[in-house]
Structure 1
Amino acid sequence: MVERVVATEEAIQLINKLKSIHGPLMFHQSGGCCDGSSPMCYQEGELKVGASDVLLGHIGGSPFYIAADQYAYWKHTQLIIDVVNGRGGMFSLEGPEGKRFLTRSRVFTEEERKELQL
């Protein structure tokens, strides 16, 4: 089965560390400027998910949502959540760790697009 969102090993390690500190987590990619252009990590339930948000999948056992308008742009790609050094969004839980989550992507192959019915 094709996954719409995956995470690098480094991202999974950071997710596990954050879970040990904060408990269950959730992610949201809104796509706006500033903080919204990065995947944001919250304690599960801290952000109210709206009817226009799409559950893209799970990374590290945590749900990953994307705003519907962003999904329309990114639906033909697999999101790859990675980690880099630096400060992330001011409300995202990884900030104090000196790391930030980063979204990379790759275009689905024709076979994957068929499986996903795109």
Structure 2
Amino acid sequence: MVERVLATDAALELIDKLRGMHGPLMFHQSGGCCDGSAPMCYPAGEFRVGQSDVQLGEIGGCPFYMSADQFEYWKHTQLTIDVVTGRGSGFSLEAPEGVRFLTRGRVFTDDEADALAAEAAS
């Protein structure tokens, strides 16, 4: 199975820390505005996911979503969520820790794209 979203060890460690502080978590890839396009971490259920959101998978046991419109641009890309030093703007839970989640991406190989297409067709 090809995963659409992964997380680095550093991101997984931060997710565990934040889960210990805030309980169950969820992620939503913001699509612009004041936060640019960044993975945002919220307490589970605090961000309302709508019918126009797509769940890409899970990282660290937390669901990861983005809007369907944004997914159209990113559907050919595997996302890797990482952590970098520096405070991002916004409401993501890691902001007070002096770090921010960051999305890195790579285009799926032809074999991976074929596997995803076959998975979607079944």
d(CA) in 1 for partners of 2:91, 2:35: 8
| SS of residue paired to 1:37 | coil
Question: Which residue in 2 is equivalent to 1:112?
Answer: 112
Amino acid at match of 1:93: L
Q: Once the two structures are aligned, what percentage of the paired residues are identical?
A: 69
d(CA) in 1 for partners of 2:28, 2:2: 20
Off by >2 Å, runs of 4+ in structure 1: none
Residues 52-93 of structure 1, C-alpha deviation per residue, up to 9 Å, x if partnerless? 000000000000001111100000000110000011232100
CA positional deviation for 1:36: 4.5
Amino acid at match of 1:13: E
d(CA) in 1 for partners of 2:44, 2:18: 12
Compute the RMSD of aligned alpha carbons: 1.1
Question: Which residue in 1 is equivalent to 2:81?
Answer: 81
Whether the 8 Å contact between 1:26 and 1:64 is mirrored in structure 2 is yes
Question: Which residue in 2 is equivalent to 1:63?
Answer: 63
Question: Which residue in 2 is equivalent to 1:44?
Answer: 44
| SS of residue paired to 2:3 | coil
- Report how many residues are paired: 118
CA positional deviation for 1:101: 0.2
Give the TM-score normalised by the residue count of structure 2: 0.93
CA positional deviation for 1:32: 1.2
